[in-house]
Amino acid sequence: MKNPFCLTAVYKTIDGRELEADIRVPYPKEGKPFGVKCPVFIDIPSEAGLGVSYSIINKKHSEALVHERRYVVVSPEYRALDPAAAGSIKAPIQDCRDLLAWIYDGGLQRALDAEHPGNYPADYDHVYASGISYGGLLALSLGWNVPRPVAGILDVAGPCHLSDDQWKASQEATSRLPSQQKHTDPNLLCLDAAPGSSIFEAATLPANGDHLSDVDPALNVRGSSSSSFPPVFIVHGTGDDMVPIGLSRHLLAQLREQGVRCEMAEVEGAGHLFASALRDSPEALEQVSRGVDFLTSTA
């Protein structure tokens, strides 16, 4: 039976393929009337090449965001990374930017009104983006080179500074470890295994080409200002051996230098996908909630 509070809409068609977005809306709730503008939270999953996707929004996060905060949450599919293809990062970035344009151009509102006429007016002044791991890089890409950036970004351990020695050392170390096994249940993901996935291979490609400045968030913070780059809240585990925490610390420093409102939460001992793989982690929920509070306070 169709769930009217979990919708699907096509936001883009490319090469004959339809790319869809999952849309979650709040249940009716006493004291929370319909027709009140709803902030929009773009939750970009990280396609980890393991047969599953990792997202900030797990069950408890979704309940808090959608049903308690009354957000509309949009989670897009996008073209898969292809380590063998030059510019493999550019395609997913473009897909996410096209999703943002679809939202601002009224595509999301039309999808909402088709199922719930007039009940969920989107608040275009409060459109936020989030992502974990590779999804964090994609979320950050909605802060530059777009006609209208998002109002704020929640980045959990997103790769940046792709030519930095810390990043290169991490890739060299993990490449020597055994490949990860596929799991049908992301709860079973072994975070100590090597990434063995397209994110870690593809994220190094720009350093070998001429388009690094098109895809690296760190290079696009430089030269920005508090009026052009949206507020950013970063969450990163100190035990992350896939995307070193020093990269996020460097990004935070750059944001501050440019006058961009930003904060960072460091989670002691946490590995790379702690916010997603530890499915009902109170600590993960706390940091995501803290990040959302920060972003909404800056809008």
Sorted by where each starts, the structural domains of the chain and their CATH numbers stand as 6-298 (3.40.50.1820)
pLDDT score recorded for residue 57 = 55
Q: Could you count the other beta carbons within 10 Å of the beta carbon of residue 64?
A: 16
Q: How far is CA 24 from CA 74, 89, 116, 186, 294, in A?
A: 7, 27, 12, 21, 22
Q: Specify the pLDDT at position 175.
A: 52
Model pTM score: 0.84
Q: What is the pLDDT of residue 170?
A: 66
pLDDT of residue 68: 76
Are 256 and 250 a contacting pair, CB within 8 Å?
A: no
pLDDT of residue 10: 96
Rg for the chain, CA atoms, rounded: 18
User: Would you state the structure tokens that stand for residue 233, as one six-digit string?
Assistant: 């809240």
Q: What is the pLDDT of residue 253?
A: 95
Give the pLDDT score at 62: 63
* Residue 134 contacts residue 142 (beta carbons within 8 Å): no
Structure token pair of residue 275: 């916010």
pLDDT for 58 equals 56
pLDDT at 50: 37
- For 123: left if phi > 0, alpha if psi spans -120 to 50, otherwise beta; the answer is beta
pLDDT by residue for the chain (299 residues), tens digit each? 567 788 999 999 998 989 999 999 988 776 566 778 999 999 988 764 433 455 555 555 666 677 678 889 999 988 876 555 445 678 889 999 999 999 999 999 999 999 999 999 999 999 999 988 888 999 999 999 999 999 999 999 898 887 777 776 666 555 544 343 333 333 322 223 333 344 445 444 444 444 677 888 988 887 655 468 999 999 998 888 888 899 999 999 999 999 999 999 998 888 877 766 545 567 777 888 899 899 988 76
pLDDT score, position 88: 66
> How would you write the chain as a 3-class SS string?
CCCCCEEEEEEEEECCEEEEEEEECCCCECCECCCCCEEEEEEECEECCCCCEECCCCHHHHHHHHHHCCCEEEEECCCCCCCCCCCCCHHHHHHHHHHHHHHHCCHHHHHHHHHCCCCCCEEEEEEEEEEECHHHHHHHHHHCCCCCCCCEEEEECCCCCCCCHHHHHHHHHHHCCCCCCCCCCHHHCCCCCCCCCHHHHHCCHHHHCCCHHHHCHHHHHCCCCCCCCCCEEEEEECCCCCCCHHHHHHHHHHHHHCCCCEEEEEECCCCCCHHHHCCCCHHHHHHHHHHHHHHHHHC
Torsional sign, CA 68, 70, 71, 77: positive
